[in-house]
Amino acid sequence: MVSFLYSIDVAVFRWINEGWSNPFFDKFFSFITDSRHFYWLIIPLIIYWLICEKAKGRWLVLSLFIGVLLSDQIASHVLKYMVERIRPCNALPGVLTPDGPSSSFSFPSSHAANMGSSMFLLSMAFKPWTPLFVVIALLVGLSRVYLGLHYPSDVLGGYVLGITLGYIVWCVVEKLKVQFSAKPRPLEKAVRSKNKKRVKSG
């Protein structure tokens, strides 16, 4: 059963890595896979959320920071060293690597895990934009297969990890938001205590 699933994994990998190969996709997926190419958009958005969206934006940025931190660290520094799966570019002959090979382990894809957590959190915060976030996550995951750096199952595992962590972070942060919003401020406490005294004396 394991060998059968692996043969499917390799077949799909070959179909994407070799069957889709062309100069345009080489440049396109190499661009998509590198988050540094999108700092010009990510940084202004974070600043906007922190300053203009007030509490809602700050909670969102906190959620994204925690979600991506957890998904990246667990994928890159825990699961990869537990599974120790060799990347297809180092395990299979004739793999095309437009961006060059990588010597680190393969499962799960940290790119897919980070996309899973961040895009899930953004989808929860901006539900009408969910299709766009899904497309972004899929393109980044697909880029890892096309570039010869991950099997499709590596990407799928990364998505599962990232979405799971994103869901946990969202639930925890939502509970924290409720607790913090329900907690009366010092001034409100003083006003309430004065009102209680007036009611008693009256």
Given a cut of 70, whether residue 192 has pLDDT beyond it is no
C-beta separation of 143 from 29 below 8 A? yes
Extract the tokens encoding 16.
């994407």
CA distance 175 to 169: 10
Given a cut of 50, whether residue 199 has pLDDT beyond it is no
Which CATH architecture group holds 66-185? Up-down Bundle (1.20)
CA R_g for the chain: 23
Q: What are phi and psi of 173, to 5 degrees?
A: -65, -40
CA distance 150 to 99: 13
- In tens, the pLDDT along 34-90 reads 999 999 999 999 999 999 988 999 999 999 999 999 999 999 999 999 999 999 999
Question: In the chain, where are the structural domains located?
Answer: 66-185
Instruction: Name the residues annotated as catalytic.
Output: 111, 150
